[in-house]
Amino acid sequence: MNEKETTFTATELEKMVADYCDFAAQLLTGGSMTKRAIDGGFVQLYRDYMPMIRKLNMINPMAANVFLFLAENKDTSNEVACSSKVMEEAFGVCRISISKAVRDLRGLEFVQIHKWGQPMSTR
């Protein structure tokens, strides 16, 4: 069997790799790869903690949703600056629902809360 050898330029290979990456991203995410996906859109969970998240979802689904909201919107140092008003609007619930969810997340040590404008020594 005689196979035909194909050669590509570096530019053609780069284009093929970029097209493949875009295609793979669409298969995995149902959409196209965005700058955020390439540039810090990665969230990592240890498998050992996944049962805790499932349990949180059973105990307080709103707290689980707030946790995922915070994970989606964190920066590269795992911090989110977000008022409860933003979460109220995002979930369509009242301040009390968000406060209870955040209280449970804090009590179960899923999150740490720091107030804006206060020096670190008083937190």
**What's the pLDDT tens digit per position in 49-104?**
889 999 999 999 999 999 999 988 888 778 888 888 999 999 999 999 999 999 99
Q: Are 2 and 38 in contact (CB under 8 A)?
A: no
Confidence of residue 2 (pLDDT cuts 50, 70, 90): low
The better pLDDT of the pair 21, 31 is held by: 21
- What is residue 32's predicted lDDT score, i.e. its pLDDT? 47
Look at the pTM and tell me if it is higher than 0.85.
no
